[in-house]
Amino acid sequence: MLNFVFLGPPGSGKGTQSAKLIEDFGFVHLSTGDIFRAELKSGSSLGLEAKRYLDSGMLVPDDVVVRMIEQKLDASPANAGFIFDGFPRTQVQAEALDRLLEFKGMPLQFVLLLEVPDAILRDRLAERSKTSGRSDDADSDIIEKRIRVYQNETLPLTDFYSQQGKLSRVPGVGHIDEIYARIRLALHI
Ligand code: ADP
C-alpha cells in the first residue's frame, strides 16, 4: 500500500497524472476539487457551502475540508493506497492529514511537488476552460487568485514535508508520458 500527496499549482497536471496512476496501479483518488464539484452538481448542502469559495478561487474552510476527507477515508477501501490531490492545501490540513493517517496506521510515504512556471499554468488553464466547463478556469482574475492562494497557503507545505524527508520535486513541463516516468521514479513504482 502506497499513500502519497500530489502538491502543485492549479493546472500543474495533478489530475492528468493521477488518472494514469489509477489506471496502472488502482490507487484510490481523493481529489478535493473533484469531490466539491460532484457535491455541487448533486445539490448537497456541502456543495452549496463550498460553492462561493470555488466560484471565487478562495479556499474552502479547513474544518469543512478535513471533515470531508475523514469521511471519504473511512468510506473507501484502502487497496493499493490513496492519492491525495488538492489536499492538503494549508498547514492545518497537512497536520490533520498526518493525524488521520497515523490513527489509521497508514502514514504518507511521499509528497510529490509538480513544478510548472506560472506562465505555462495560465496557458494551460485557459486551454482547459474550453472543455472543462469550470467557471474558475474561464476567468483570469480567478486564475490569478488561485495561483496567489497556492503560493501563499500551499507552497509553504514544501518546507513541512521536506523536514519530514518526504518531498520530491518533479518537473511538470514536457510530454505527459515523460512526466509520468519521472513520477513513477519518485514513487519507486
Ligand atoms: P485547481 O485546478 O485550482 O488545483 P481544484 O479542482 O483542486 O483546482 O480545486 C478547485 C477549488 O476547490 C479551489 O479553488 C478551492 O476553492 C476548493 N478546494 C479544493 N481543495 C481544497 C482544499 N484542500 N482546501 C480548501 N479548498 C479546496
Q: Is any ligand 1 atom within 6 A of the Cβ of residue 116?
A: no
Distance from C-alpha of 149 to C-alpha of 92, rounded to nearest angstrom: 15
Q: Is any ligand 1 atom within 6 A of the Cβ of residue 8?
A: no
Nearest atom within ligand 1 for CA of residue 58: 16
Q: Maximum CA pair distance of the chain?
A: 42
Task: Please answer whether residues 171 and 115 qualify as being in contact, where contact means their C-beta atoms are separated by less than 8 angstroms.
Answer: yes
Q: What b/e readout covers 155-176, taking b as 16+ CB neighbours within 10 angstroms?
A: eebeebbeeeebbbebebeeee
What does the pLDDT read at residue 45?
A: 95
Distance from C-alpha of 38 to C-alpha of 47, rounded to nearest angstrom: 8
DSSP state at residue 104? T
Pick the catalytic residue: 128, 145, 169, 184?
128
Distance from C-alpha of 28 to C-alpha of 79, rounded to nearest angstrom: 8
pLDDT of 20 higher than 90: yes
Looking up cell 518546507 gives 159
Task: Please answer whether residues 85 and 31 qualify as being in contact, where contact means their C-beta atoms are separated by less than 8 angstroms.
Answer: yes
What does the pLDDT read at residue 157?
A: 98
**Candidate from 69-78, 103-112, 163-172 with smallest mean pLDDT:** 69-78
What does the pLDDT read at residue 182?
A: 98
Q: Is any ligand 1 atom within 6 A of the Cβ of residue 59?
A: yes
Q: Show the DSSP H helices in the chain as ranges.
A: 14-25, 32-42, 45-56, 62-75, 91-103, 118-132, 135-138, 140-149, 157-163, 176-187
What does the pLDDT read at residue 79?
A: 80
pTM of the predicted protein model: 0.95
pLDDT tens-digit map of 48-100? 999 999 999 999 999 999 999 999 999 988 688 999 999 999 999 999 999 99
What does the pLDDT read at residue 77?
A: 82
pLDDT tens-digit map of 174-186? 999 999 999 999 9
Distance from C-alpha of 38 to C-alpha of 15, rounded to nearest angstrom: 15
pLDDT tens-digit map of 150-166? 999 999 999 999 999 99
pLDDT of 30 higher than 80: yes
Reference 111, options 149, 73, 150, 84; nearest CA is 84
DSSP state at residue 61? P
Q: What is the CATH number of domain 4-187?
A: 3.40.50.300
Nearest atom within ligand 1 for CA of residue 86: 7
Task: Please answer whether residues 171 and 179 qualify as being in contact, where contact means their C-beta atoms are separated by less than 8 angstroms.
Answer: yes
Is 146 a residue of the active site?
yes
For all residues of the chain together, what is the average pLDDT?
Answer: 96
